Chain A
């Protein structure tokens, strides 16, 4: 018990003393996940609106597929993309394995189904008069899309925040595609795994507490946007 209390105190001292290494890792984690969420949102939200408002054969199957992919294991994404990015893989020439870009790609793939699916749900739950009102005001297809984005902004923000929460907390993709290179691709989750295995428990715990804090803020934001959406 003493060991736990002592290491916890040391971890808190590291956080309070603004340890450069720790905050560099936190910053790397945050910017990689923000970019991944941005990429996934740019694809997932328009696709969500499109799927919600269009009828096509196989729509039900697609929605079931998206539901399944929401629980996509991170190591599976890491493994498949590793196959693509490795030197002998189809995208090996790009040289992006063990770079932040590789982690961004992996996290974007991981959270795309979440954003896509939650956007479909948000759009399907929109007031049925909304589309009719847009049309009666003479809005073009693109203008209607922009109005829908604006009207559903809170529900869509909730999707974005949920995606961010999933991305920042994952470890499989960051480890397999990033390689945990110090000052380059080391994220909070990979650093926790590494430092703990090296016996640097207080360092790992400090990062763990910061990760918890990020998760707490993300959760608060998620609840805030979900409340506004209702």
Chain B
């Protein structure tokens, strides 16, 4: 496997405050990688580094097998397209906004025009191409910023919360567009999101960032509390954990490790909690089930499994999982 990025021992501080502490991060090329985490977890700082906009205080970075130093950043930037969470659009028309990156690269006018017309059509921006970018809605601005990054045909496309402000139609179009980009152009896509489920269904690799620390698992079920022997106490639940695990203040369980049943299961699983179904969401051929069992659990099952289970919103189910399926950190 070829790595687009290899980060080791990366440390970022804002003044005296540590923001990122990454021992090792490998991001595969020609694939989609999702970084999931709450606000303030260090996602944007990490993206700024991956987009070569900020140099960390410490650590090493390899970009497509080449070691990168601070002096290489300017050169590398042109290989990366970056769309910020709230993109800045210049005080100019939509057309001029999308064209600027091509102008910066010194591309001929005819070639620019051809690329622009193609992307404007693809993103359905024909109707607003001549409008001033400052007057656009949040969703339109997001589209223009994406078009501005994609028209440069970057090797790596970095998107900070790209699905915010988008209507469902364009959201699906963007998902397809990202998959096409990976499939046909072998591009590397890195995106951040709060939505664990979206990350899991869209991305080939999912990393979680919590307080600047990286977790190589999708923590749809993340609880805070304290370890006490073979128990992790959240305040509302006591979860059985292997006694040898190092103590920690957070516990994560992957969604696909949860087993749902109408009756308590007679099995080796040490954790069984009764709860009520709060939400059933059909998302991209999977059913996302939210259960309130004191703490909220998020499980992912197939439509067939839901049919066999025969439950609906408000009904009671049992959530079971093995003590060995939890991660305490």
Residues of chain A at the chain B interface (Cβ within 8 Å): 127, 129-130, 132-133, 135-140, 143, 147, 150-151, 153
In the complex, what residue of chain A is closest to B105 when comparing beta carbons? A138
Give the contacting residue for A143; candidates B48, B87, B104, B152; CB below 8 A. Answer: B104
Residues on the B chain within 8 Å of A138, using CB: 74, 77-78, 101, 104-105, 152
B80 in contact with A136 (CB, 8 Å): yes
Given contacts A135-B53, A138-B101, contact A129 B77 (CB under 8 A): no
Residue of A129, A130, A132, A133 with highest tally of chain B CB at under 10 A:
A133
- Is the beta-carbon distance between A137 and B53 smaller than 8 angstroms? no
A-B contact sample (20 more), CB < 8 A, given A136-B77, A138-B101:
A130-B88, A132-B48, A132-B88, A133-B88, A133-B90, A135-B53, A135-B77, A136-B53, A136-B80, A136-B82, A137-B101, A138-B77, A138-B78, A138-B104, A138-B105, A139-B104, A143-B104, A147-B100, A150-B90, A150-B92
**CB of B26 closer than 8 Å to a CB of A:** no
Complex CA–CA separation, A150 to B91 (angstroms): 8
Which residues in chain B, 177-213, are within 8 Å of chain A measured between CB atoms? Answer: none
Across the interface, which residues of A come within 8 angstroms of B171, CB to CB? none
B328 interface hit (Cβ, 8 Å) = no
Q: Shortest distance in angstroms between A130's beta carbon and chain B's nearest beta carbon?
A: 6
Q: Is the CB of B90 within 8 A of A151?
A: yes
> Is chain B's binding surface mostly helix, strand, loop or mixed?
loop
Q: Is the interface of A mostly helix, strand, loop or mixed?
A: helix
CA distance A132 to B74 in the complex (A): 12
A129, B78: Cβ atoms closer than 8 Å: no
Shortest beta-carbon distance from B162 to chain A in Å:
14
Interface: B84 (CB within 8 A): yes
Closest to B77 in A: A138
- Say yes or no: B87 contacts A133, CB within 8 Å: yes
Give a binary string over B144-169; 1 marks a CB under 8 Å from any A CB, 0 the rest.
00001000100000000000000000
B270 contacts A by Cβ under 8 Å:
no
CB proximity of A205 to chain B, nearest CB, Å: 43
Report the nearest B residue to A135, measured CB to CB.
B53
25 chain-A/chain-B pairs, Cβ below 8 angstroms: A127-B88, A129-B86, A130-B88, A132-B48, A132-B53, A133-B87, A135-B53, A135-B77, A136-B51, A136-B77, A136-B80, A136-B82, A136-B84, A137-B100, A137-B104, A137-B152, A138-B77, A138-B78, A138-B101, A138-B104, A138-B152, A140-B74, A140-B104, A143-B104, A147-B90
Contacts of B81 in A (CB 8 A): 136
Instruction: List chain A residues, Cβ under 8 A from B88.
Output: 127, 129-130, 132-133
A137–B87 Cα distance when bound, in Å, is 12
Complex CA distance for A135 and B48, rounded to whole angstroms: 11
B residues in contact with A147, CB < 8 Å: 90, 100
- Binary contact track B91-116/A, C-beta < 8 Å → 1, others 0: 11000000011001100000000000
Q: Closest 10 CB pairs between A and B? A: A129-B88, A138-B78, A136-B82, A137-B101, A133-B88, A138-B77, A139-B104, A135-B53, A137-B104, A143-B104
